[in-house]
């Protein structure tokens, strides 16, 4: 099979690695890719939002499958563009992608299909005073979300009512452009977050390994929000009972809801959950895999991913094998100093080749004349797979010390909160 993978992050390096392990693969192309994806296939400089350009490439290179890494091409309708023609696209139609592209659509969907979620209301510019009234009716902290895609920055959580009101006004006045023309205000959920992923052909689904993401820049979950600073899989509290609740209350109603709405959904669904005293609540949907979650999910996936993708494309996923390794995976993200605010690019990265026992996934990294240079905020991630969490944490941290670039920064506590949790449980 000839495959075109879209995207350029650590997630895409992990997907490229998994795709390249498949005996079904003939050629893998990655657009635009990074210095890591280039080790598993050929990077091609395509604009992933220019579907005509992508189509020309797929015809010339006899591509049979497009795998969408990030959400933008899906929200813009790449699956609809190729519907009914070759190649098949792994990722939902535009209507399905609205589960991520519009928080208001997603919340309406959750309520309609009885999926547990935080109580909410949404407001546009003309409804500012109703928005203030709704805030008055809630207890702090206050959660405000831009309806549309805002590069992961559209969620504001504040403790003071006055701050919440000014944030609402600023958002409706265009703080996040068109994304915040409508704002969702919701009840604050207290609990521990976990991400659950499924792959679906619209009828059946496979549950992939779950993961915990570390979103804040600083140790102990302090400082600014980021795209993700590390991840762990499995997550200790996700036992059979919790998984059964997630399946019955969240995954199944979602798949049935998509069918009832006649939404063509063939791809990944990422459920961002909050575990509130043992009960799962859905915070958000994403219509793609997570980053850096993919960097712990793919190494634990015991399956031929192209066989699964073929099942997704042909509607025959039910009969496919999808095993999960019992091993523990931990990934630590190394970022450019200053991220998630301003940072420098173009520093040489050294030491990647000296990491022998773990996997280095490249993210914001490019290769020039045989050398690797930083090219983004999140530069690379180091994933370790071991028999237990403590060994995986130890190994990932040992390996990452071999990697050097100017102003490198990474969190020192990834997975360590869960180590404490498991030792207390024992």
Q: What is the smallest separation between the CB atom of 334 and ligand AMP, expressed in angstroms? A: 22
Q: How far is the CB of 297 from ligand GLY (least distance, A)?
A: 11
Nearer Cβ to ligand AMP (212/300): 212
Out of ligand AMP, ligand GLY, none, which partner does residue 375 contact, by CB within 5 to 8 A per kind?
none
CA distance 159 to 261: 37
**228 binds, options ligand AMP, ligand GLY, none, Cβ within 5 to 8 A by partner type:** ligand GLY
Give the separation between CA 267 and CA 285, rounded to whole angstroms. 13
Q: How far is the CB of 286 from ligand AMP (least distance, A)?
A: 8
CB of 181 to ligand GLY, least distance (A): 22
Query: By C-beta, is 211 or 392 nearer to ligand GLY?
Result: 211
Q: How far is CA 321 from the centre of its chain?
A: 23
Nearer to ligand GLY, 202 or 227 (CB): 227
Alpha-carbon gap, residue 352 to 359, rounded angstroms? 9
Give least dist CB 287 to ligand AMP, A.
13
Of 189 and 372, which CB lies nearer to ligand GLY in the complex structure?
A: 189
Q: Residue 189's binding partner, choosing from ligand AMP, ligand GLY, none, with beta-carbon cut-off 5 to 8 A by kind?
A: ligand AMP
Q: What is the C-alpha separation between 288 and 68, in angstroms, rounded?
A: 8
Other Cβ atoms within 10 Å of 321 Cβ, number:
11
Residue 290 beta carbon to ligand GLY: minimum distance, rounded to whole angstroms: 3
322: which residues sit within 8 A by CB, 6+ positions away?
199, 206, 208, 301, 302, 303, 308
Selection from ligand AMP, ligand GLY, none that 286 binds (CB < 5 to 8 A by kind) is ligand GLY
Task: Please choose which of ligand AMP, ligand GLY, none residue 290 contacts, taking the beta carbon within 5 to 8 angstroms, the exact cut-off set by kind.
Answer: ligand GLY
Q: Which does 34 bind (CB under 5 to 8 A by kind): ligand AMP, ligand GLY, none?
A: none
Question: Distance (Å, rounded) from C-alpha 357 to C-alpha 362?
Answer: 16
Cβ atoms of residues 196 and 210 within 8 Å: yes
Q: From the list ligand AMP, ligand GLY, none, pick the one residue 77 interacts with, judged by a Cβ distance below 5 to 8 Å according to partner type.
A: none
Residue closer to ligand GLY, measured from CB, 210 or 291:
291
| CA separation, residue 388 to residues 90, 165, 331 (Å) | 33, 46, 14
- As a whole number of angstroms, the distance between CA 295 and CA 380 comes to 10
Nearer to ligand GLY, 100 or 104 (CB): 100
Q: Nearest distance from residue 215's CB to ligand AMP, in Å?
A: 6
No. of helices (H) and no. of strands (E), the chain: 14, 26
From the list ligand AMP, ligand GLY, none, pick the one residue 155 interacts with, judged by a Cβ distance below 5 to 8 Å according to partner type.
ligand AMP
Applying CB under 6 A, the residues found at the interface with ligand AMP are 118, 143, 145, 155, 186, 188-189, 193, 215, 272, 283-284
**332-350 burial, b for 16+ CB within 10 Å, e for fewer?**
bbbbbeebbeebeeebebe
Contacts 24+ apart (CB under 8 A), 310-313: 310/1, 310/24, 310/65, 311/201, 312/90, 312/199, 312/200, 312/201, 312/266, 312/267, 313/65, 313/88, 313/90, 313/201, 313/266
Binding site for ligand GLY (CB under 6 A): 213, 227-228, 286, 290-291, 293
- How do strand 328-336 and strand 27-32 relate by DSSP bridges? unpaired
Q: Is the peptide bond before 87 cis (omega within 30 degrees of 0)?
A: yes
In the complex, least distance from residue 375 CB atom to ligand AMP, rounded to whole angstroms: 25
Nearer to ligand AMP, 40 or 378 (CB): 378
The pairing of strands 212-213 and 88-90 is: unpaired
Q: How far is the CB of 289 from ligand AMP (least distance, A)?
A: 15
Q: Which residues pair with 183 in a beta bridge?
A: 123, 146
Cβ closest to ligand AMP, residue 179 vs residue 263:
179
- Output 93 or 286, the one with its CB closest to ligand GLY: 286
């Amino acid at each position: 099979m000839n495959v075109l993978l879209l995207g350029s992050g650590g997630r895409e390096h992990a997907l490229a690695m998994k795709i390249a392990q498949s005996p079904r693969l003939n050629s893998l192309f990655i657009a635009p890719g990074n210095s890591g994806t280039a080790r598993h296939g050929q990077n091609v400089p395509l604009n992933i939002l220019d579907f005509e350009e992508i189509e020309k490439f797929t015809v010339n290179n006899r591509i049979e499958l497009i795998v969408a890494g990030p959400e933008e091409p899906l929200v813009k309708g790449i699956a609809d563009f190729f519907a009914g023609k070759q190649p098949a696209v792994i990722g939902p139609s535009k209507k399905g992608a609205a589960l991520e592209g519009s928080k208001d659509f997603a919340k309406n969907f959750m309520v309609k299909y009885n999926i547990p979620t935080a109580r909410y209301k949404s407001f546009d510019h003309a409804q500012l005073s109703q928005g203030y009234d709704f805030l008055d009716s809630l207890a702090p902290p206050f959660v405000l979300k831009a309806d549309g895609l805002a590069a992961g920055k559209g969620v504001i959580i504040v403790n003071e009512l006055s701050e919440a009101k000014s944030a609402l006004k600023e958002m409706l006045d265009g703080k996040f452009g068109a994304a915040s023309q409508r704002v969702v205000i919701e009840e604050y959920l207290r609990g521990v977050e976990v991400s659950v992923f499924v792959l679906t052909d619209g009828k059946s689904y496979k549950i992939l390994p779950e993961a915990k993401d570390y979103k804040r820049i600083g140790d102990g979950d302090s400082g600014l929000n980021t795209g993700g600073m590390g991840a762990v899989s499995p997550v200790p509290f996700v036992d059979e009972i919790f998984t059964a609740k997630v399946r019955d209350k969240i995954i199944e109603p979602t798949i049935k809801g998509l069918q009832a709405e006649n939404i063509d959904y063939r791809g990944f669904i990422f459920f961002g959950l909050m575990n509130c005293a043992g009960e799962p609540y859905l915070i958000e949907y994403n219509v793609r895999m997570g980053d850096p979650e993919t960097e712990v999910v793919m190494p634990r996936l015991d399956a031929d991913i192209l066989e699964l993708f073929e099942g997704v494309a042909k509607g025959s996923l039910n009969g496919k094998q999808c095993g999960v390794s019992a091993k523990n995976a931990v990934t630590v993200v190394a970022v450019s100093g200053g991220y998630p605010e301003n940072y420098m690019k173009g520093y040489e990265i050294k030491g990647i080749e000296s990491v022998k026992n773990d996997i280095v996934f490249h993210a914001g990294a490019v290769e020039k004349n045989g050398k690797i240079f930083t090219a983004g905020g999140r530069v690379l991630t180091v994933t370790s797979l071991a028999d237990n969490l403590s060994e995986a944490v130890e190994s990932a941290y040992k390996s990452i010390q071999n990697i050097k670039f100017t102003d490198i920064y990474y969190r020192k506590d990834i997975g360590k909160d869960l180590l404490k949790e498991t030792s207390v449980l024992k």
